[in-house]
Each structure stands twice: as structure tokens, then as C-alpha cells.
Amino acid sequence: MAAIDWGSVPTWFSAIGTTGSLIATLTIVLRDRRKDEREDAACLAIWVDPDEKFDSWRPVLRLHNAAGRPVFDVILHCVWFDRDVETGERWTEMRREPLAAVVRAGAELKLPGSYYMDHVTFRDAHQVAWRYDLENKILTREPDRLLIRTCRSTQSWVRRQRTRVVRAWRRRRSDGGEAAPEEAS
């Protein structure tokens, strides 16, 4: 039995060093990309002005877009608490109030708020969805609903195709053709 030739030690160190530098480069590139994405979203200032009233009872919600690009689909999410009169049971409801379709670069808006404001969602110029929590003043990236919807629709398409193929095989079998494959669950 012949001995296995593993190559030279410098070749192994070179391969490990190259792989490590590639991983470090990819990590840095991804970190910088996330930082650039967040930069535009962080330039949208959102605050509640409790001293000023929009009308007789609603506070003013102010938005100032200090970014160089517009933001889109600004929506205020409000939580409403109530109690059922008959049963005394408490319930909550999340309401969405569209505020602005587009907030231009450098624009400042004065919008009607609500006493039950929870968070504001918007999309930046790259169509990335963001959520700004009004109570904790935290900006977070929202999961991409379109991607989630696309994955779900793809899964259901695959399920429909599998069902269609199994039914076709069963029809062929009942007509005296080939044997049907077992249906996978």
C-alpha cells in the first residue's frame, strides 16, 4: 500500500491563509453594505411634538428627511385598546394609517398623530422596509414581505404541480397504463 502524498506544509498554509482572507473580505463587504443601507434610513427623523396639537386632540407627528433621496410608503401603526362592555374582556387592534406616499429629500412634514402611536414603517430609496419604534426610538429593518410572499407562492406552486403529476399518473394507471408512483407527503 502506497503512502498518501499530502503536499508540502507551505502549500497548506497558503490555502488556509487565502481562504481566511476571502472570508474576512466578504464579511467586511457585507458589513459595509448593511451600514450604507442603514445610513439613508437613519436620516429620516421622526418625533412626536406633544406641545403642539394638530387639531383639538391629536398630537403632531413630525418627519424630516435629511437623506439625499426620498422615502416611500410612510405608514403610522397605532394600537387601540378597548374593553367589551358586556363581557368586560379587553382587546387590542392594530390600525394602519397611511401618512405619505413620498417624502422628498430635505422635506419636513407635520402630520396628525394619535395617542396610541406604536411605530412608523417606511421604505427607503432601495425599497428596503424599515420600522421606527416611537416609544423606544429604535430603527430596525423589516423582513421583506415580498420575498416571504414569493417563497410561499413558490411552495404552493410546487405542491400544485406535484398533485397534478400524481393525479395524471393515477389516471394513467386506472386506464391500464404504467403503475403510479407513491405519493410523497
Domains along the chain with CATH numbers: 41-142 (2.60.40), 144-185 (no CATH)
Phi, psi at 106, each rounded to 5°: 85, 0
Residues of the chain with pLDDT under 50: 180, 184-185
pLDDT of residue 148: 53
Output the pTM of the full model: 0.57
pLDDT of residue 185: 46
Q: Is 42 exposed, middle or buried (0-12, 13-18, 19+ CB in 10 A)?
A: middle
- CA dist 75 → 11, 21, 87, 118, 164 (Å): 57, 43, 33, 11, 41
- The Cα 102–Cα 139 span in angstroms is 19
- Residue carrying the nine cell digits 406604536: 118
pLDDT of residue 1: 55
